Amino acid sequence: MSFFRWLINTWKGRAVLTLIVLLVAVRIALPSLVLNYVNDTLDNIPGYQGRIADIDIHLWRGAYKIQNIELVKTDSPVPKPLFAADTIDLSVLWSALFRGAVVAEVYMTKPQVNFVAGKKGQEAQTGEDKEWTEVAQELVPINIDRFQAVNGSIHYYDFNSDPQVDVYINNVDAVLRNLNNSRGKGKERLAKLKVHALAMNHADVNLNLNIDPFAAKPDFNFDFRLLHLQMTRIREYLKAYAPFDANSGTLDLVVEMAAKDGAVDGYIKPILKNLDILSWNKDVEQDEDNPFRVILEATSGFFTDLLQNQPKDQFATRVPISGRLDDPSVGVLPAIGNILKNGFVKAFRPTLEHSVTPPK
C-alpha cells in the first residue's frame, strides 16, 4: 500500500492527515493571531497607542519578529512617538537553554526613544509613568536574559523653547547580558551592559555598567565617557536653557560611579577645551543678543579664561559624589579646588581613573 493510500484509507492515516492540516492551518493563522495579541497588549497601555506593521513567525527557532512598531502618547499633542523601531526580534536564547535555563533574548534594529519637554500645563513625554517591564513580560512570556540594540537613537526635544531644542545620541549599539542570571551565581550573577554611540552624530560615547539585578538595594559599577563634543552642536540647547552659549570649543565628560547597599561613591569630570563664550561679531552683530545676556557671557568668559589651564587652553574640574543614592552629596569645595588644580597645577585628562570602589 502506498503512503498516500495509507493516509486516505486507514484511520491512522486520516488522523495523521488531519493533524498535518491542522498544523498548516495554525501556522497560517498564527501571524494574525500574534499580531492581534501584540496590538491589544500595546493598546491596553493607558495613555499610549501602539502601531505595528506586520509580524513574522519563526517556529524553528522559537521566535517572532515585530516589524515597524510605534508607541505614541495619546493624552498630549506630542509630534514624536515615545518609542519606535524597525524590527524587534523576540526569541528563545538557545545558548542558555543548553545550560538548562529557559530564557529569551530581544534584538532590536533602529530603536528610537524620544523624550519631549511639556508645554506649560501639559505633561512631558518621559515614559516614567508606566511599568514597561510589565509590558515586556506580556510580550515575552519567559524572562528576558539578553538584550541587543543596533543603530538606535535617543532624542530630547523641546518644541516650545526659543530656539527649539533637539539633543540626541545616535548610532547606539548596546548589549545587555545575563539580565536573568542564566549563568548561575557568583561573579556571573552580574548583568553587564556595554554601549557605544555618537553624541550629535560625531562625539564618541562609551558606557559600561555591571549591576546585580537581584540586589535588594542598588549594587553596581558604572563608567561613562563622552569625548570631543563640539559645543556649537548644542548651541540651541545652551541658548534655550543657559545664560550663555558657545561659539567654539569641545566638551569631554568622564563619570565613574559605584554603589552598594544604597550607598554611592564616584565623580564627574567635565573638561572644556578651546572654549569661546562671547563673540562680538556673532553674538551682538549677527544674533543681536540682549545686553544682559552679553554681560553674562562676557563675565563667564572672563572667569573661564582666568581659571583655565593656559598651556592646554582647558577649563575643567572633578566633582566628587558620595552618600546615599537617593540623596547624594556633591563636593562643592573639592570641585572648586579642582578648578584651581586644573588651572594652575596639572591639567585633568579625559581618562577613566579606575579609582572608584563600592562603598563599604
Split into its structural domains, the chain has a count of: 2
d(CA 82, CA 128): 11
Q: Is 151 part of any domain?
A: yes
| Residues paired with 319 in a beta bridge | 268
Domain check: are 243 and 195 in the same one? no
Q: Is 124 part of any domain?
A: yes
pLDDT at 358: 80
Domain check: are 338 and 287 in the same one? yes
Using 70 as the pLDDT threshold, list the residues of the chain that sit under it. 1-34, 59-62, 93-102, 120-123, 129-133, 137, 140-142, 181-188, 243, 277-310
| Residues paired with 54 in a beta bridge | 67
Q: Is 2 part of any domain?
A: no
Q: What is the mean pLDDT of the chain?
A: 78
Q: Is 33 part of any domain?
A: no
Domain check: are 210 and 247 in the same one? no
pLDDT at 22: 63
pLDDT at 166: 95
Which residue segment(s) compose the domain that 96 sits in? 40-214
Q: How many CB atoms lie within 10 A of CB 215?
A: 15
pLDDT at 126: 78
SS3 string, the chain, reads CCHHHHHHHCHHHHHHHHHHHHHHHHHHHHHHHHHHHHHHHHHCCCCEEEEEEEEEEEHHHCEEEEEEEEEEECCCCCCCCCEEEEEEEEEECHHHHCCCCCCEEEEEECCEEEEECCCCCCCCECCCCCCHHHHHHHHCCCCEEEEEEEEEEEEEEECCCCCCEEEEEEEEEEEEECCCCCCCCHHHHCEEEEEEEEECCCEEEEEEEEECCCCCCCCEEEEEEEEEEEHHHHHHHHHHHCCCCCCEEEEEEEEEEEEECCEEEEEEEEEEEEEECCCHHHHHHHCCCCHHHHHHHHHHHHHHHHHCECCCCEEECCEEEEEECCEEEECHHHHHHHHHHHHHCCCCCCCCCCCCCCCC
Q: How many CB atoms lie within 10 A of CB 25?
A: 10
Q: Is 13 part of any domain?
A: no
d(CA 167, CA 234): 7
Whether the bond between 359 and the residue before it is cis, its omega within 30 degrees of 0, is: no
- Which residues in 244-273 are b (16+ Cβ under 10 Å) and which e? bbbbebbbbbbbbbbbbeebbbbbbbbbbb
Domain check: are 80 and 200 in the same one? yes
- Closest alpha carbon to 116 in 161, 62, 169: 161
> pLDDT tens for residues 319-360?
999 988 888 888 888 887 887 787 777 888 999 999 888 877
Domain check: are 264 and 332 in the same one? yes
pLDDT at 130: 66
Residue ending a domain, among 214, 244, 270, is 214
Domain check: are 134 and 205 in the same one? yes
d(CA 245, CA 236): 8
pLDDT at 258: 94
284 close to 291: Cβ distance less than 8 angstroms: no
Residue ending a domain, among 198, 214, 230, is 214
Angle at which helix 132-139 crosses helix 11-43, to 10 degrees, equals: 170
pLDDT at 299: 43
Domain check: are 70 and 187 in the same one? yes
d(CA 113, CA 134): 18
Domain check: are 231 and 358 in the same one? yes
Q: Is 3 part of any domain?
A: no
- Closest alpha carbon to 197 in 167, 154, 158: 154
Domain check: are 106 and 231 in the same one? no
pLDDT at 210: 93
81 close to 116: Cβ distance less than 8 angstroms: no
Domain check: are 137 and 194 in the same one? yes
Residue ending a domain, among 194, 214, 234, is 214
Domain check: are 162 and 222 in the same one? no
